[in-house]
Structure 1
Amino acid sequence: MKKLLTLVLVTFLLLFSAFTMPAMAADIVNGEQIFSLHCAGCHINGSNIVRRGKNLKKQALKKYGMDSIEAVTSIVTNGKNNMSAYKDRLTEQQITDVAAYVLEQAEKDWR
């Protein structure tokens, strides 16, 4: 009986954790598609057609404190100055995906 109770408890904990875990890791391929559709108009190849210095290159991201998934996710979600907010157009997962794509591309120098 004790083994059965332990087995049921372990099964419950595994199922509970599987369904309450945070969102899956970012999908870079999806992030690239979202970037192409929503971001590339202003940020083609990591540039910035509105404000040249505030581009998506690694050096600029670091300089402006935008070199983390949290920072990029926040600015995509809420916008800032000339940057539009996307919280009403994209899901949280899509925003995470595009943020991960931006950081990955910055590491590759947008090549």
Structure 2
Amino acid sequence: MRRLLLILFLAIALFQLTFTYPALAAETSNGAKIFSANCASCHIGGGNILVAEKTLNKEALSKYLADYNTDSLQAIIHQVQNGKNAMPPFKNKLTPEEILDVAAYVFQKAEQGW
């Protein structure tokens, strides 16, 4: 429950920061750096070198993360934390804040079409 509240608080803060101060959000977000260091080797440019159809494009995320029965950002956070199939979990490698940053980055890039 505490973890869920932390994630919810961070998501609300990120949402408010992104839409209230977009330039500041871009400056403070580490999502791109975290993605580059941890995710880009398999998901370069939003693709997927292991399972070609499971990209990070909006349509694919909607399809393959639908089993989490939650909004896209929460589903991405869950996937990053816990992994699935060939994707390893990052909950012991990244902090909750880093996971939120990279999930927000992936969500934003998916919305923009990578």
Q: Same fold (TM over 0.5)?
A: yes
Please give the range of the TM-score, normalised by the shorter of the 2 chains: 0.7 to 0.9
Q: Check if 1:80 corresponds to 2:84.
A: yes
Match of 1:70 in 2: 74
Where in structure 1 do 4 or more consecutive aligned residues deviate above 4 Å? none
Match of 1:61 in 2: 61
Name structure 1 gaps, 5 residues minimum: 1-20
Match of 2:9 in 1: 22
Match of 1:41 in 2: 41
Deviation at 1:25, TM superposition (A): 1.8
Q: Deviations over 1:63-106 (max 9, x none)?
A: 12276111000010011000010011000010011000001000
- 1:86 partner letter: F
Greater Rg over alpha carbons, structure: 1
Match of 1:101 in 2: 105
Deviation at 1:22, TM superposition (A): 2.7
Name structure 2 gaps, 5 residues minimum: 1-7, 16-24
- 1:88 partner letter: N
Count of residues in correspondence between the two structures? 90
**Using the alignment, how far apart are the partners of 1:22 and 1:71 within structure 2?**
16
RMSD over aligned CA atoms reads 2.0
Match of 2:5 in 1: none
Q: Which structure: greater helix fraction?
A: 2
- Structure 1, 74-83 or 26-35: larger mean CA deviation: 26-35
Q: TM-score, normalization: structure 1? A: 0.74
- 2:72 partner letter: S
